[in-house]
Amino acid sequence: MARVFITGSADGLGQMAARLLVKAGHRVVLHARSAARADEALQAVPQAQAALSGDLSSIADTTALAQQVNRLGRFDAVIHNAAVGFREPRRIATVDGLPHVFAINTLAPYILTALIDRPERLVYLSSGLHRSGDASLHDLTWERRPWQGTTAYSDSKLHDALLAFAIARRWPRVLSNALEPGWVATKMGGAGAPDDLQAAPKTQVWLAVSDEPAAKVSGAYFYHMKPRDTHPAVHDVAVQERLIEACERLSGVRLPD
């Protein structure tokens, strides 16, 4: 059975994925932004091995979270599930002066990828909205353009797909993929979201642990366990590298070769 770490698993799709994994006999470690939320996560999924805490909007906290993960030993898979939504009405600055959406959705998965002992599989949750993302990567920190919450979210989900494909290319022994779960009725998606909520956590679980040949690929993008087209820039090595360079500069964390 696999050991799997899931970010943002106190509720929503992260918790749903955790439930599917533990039901199948896998060993799961949860994550929440605070100790209190981590306790709640463990109460919700008591079969999980542990629940770690760390505020992904903080570079220091995210770095410390990676250290916590490594102290538990190597994981077979990491699911980068944590994200904040597209309804933020203004640029909310983190303790590091970065936009809240960018810090959690883009920079945190980069830092965790760089610092967590390399697993066999990496899974990044993107979104269909990534196709509207800005592939120029200009003004990633939203200091010069007027704030637009939906655009910031779309950009960050493009970044997640770019990161997944960059890792697949740079680390050929790691299976690294991205997916979109659909617009579903979670806290983020809202009650009126039209897609199938029960199907939404299955692809990330499948990519993390399945031995099916279709799941044991790298540098692919999925929706409901089927390949799906992406923004063309996702395959552009130059764009991938510009994102990696920007994340390294903004976080002070280098992605290992």
Residue type (1 letter), 78? V
Distance of alpha carbon 142 from alpha carbon 127, whole angstroms: 20
Distance of alpha carbon 122 from alpha carbon 144, whole angstroms: 33
Question: How big is the chain, counted in residues?
Answer: 257
DSSP state of 103: I
> Could you identify the residue written with the tokens 């009725």?
185
> Could you identify the residue written with the tokens 């970044």?
159
Angle at 33 between CA 28 and CA 38, to 5 degrees: 50
Estimate the share of the chain in helix, then strand, then coil, as percent rounded to the nearest 5: 40, 15, 45
Instruction: Name residue 175's beta-bridge partners.
Output: 121
Active-site residue list: 153, 157
Please, how many CA atoms are within 13 Å of residue 177, restricted to the half-sphere of its CB?
28
